[in-house]
Structure 1
Amino acid sequence: MAQKRYNVTGMSCEHCAASITEEVSDVPGVSEVVVDLAANAVTVRGADLDDELVRAAIVEAGYGVGEPTAA
């Protein structure tokens, strides 16, 4: 199972975390989404993760996102 961490800008509350979790969970291959508000990061786990789709889902939720890093 792959795991990637994304730095996300604009998150400030549990509503932000819920919005991102909902959008990213719908991406094919994603099995788990963990939002860390204090670190401004989202960790995504799953099989065959498509970085472009994950990043697009975060943007769709209304937030900025950087390139993924190994988590």
Structure 2
Amino acid sequence: MIEHYKKSTVFGMIQRNGEVRAMHVENASEIALLPVIYQNISVETKVYTDQHRSYSKLERVYDHKTVMHSRGEYVRG
């Protein structure tokens, strides 16, 4: 018998040399993630993410930079 498990989505944010915040979110969609980001990160913050499409609108509010995992990049700056 094959058992199927529903996966949970956990979203985390870390301040360099600082606090970590992680929480369960409904999914990894823009609608689920952006409100969490806006509530937890001040607008003067430089935000680094991967290239997930849910982050595409962050540049409207933040100095948003991306790292390219496909090129072996996992950190910048």
TM-score w.r.t. the length of structure 1 is 0.27
Q: Bigger radius of gyration, 1 or 2?
A: 2
Question: In proportion to residue count, which structure has more helix?
Answer: 1
Higher relative contact order (CA 8 A, sep 6+): 1
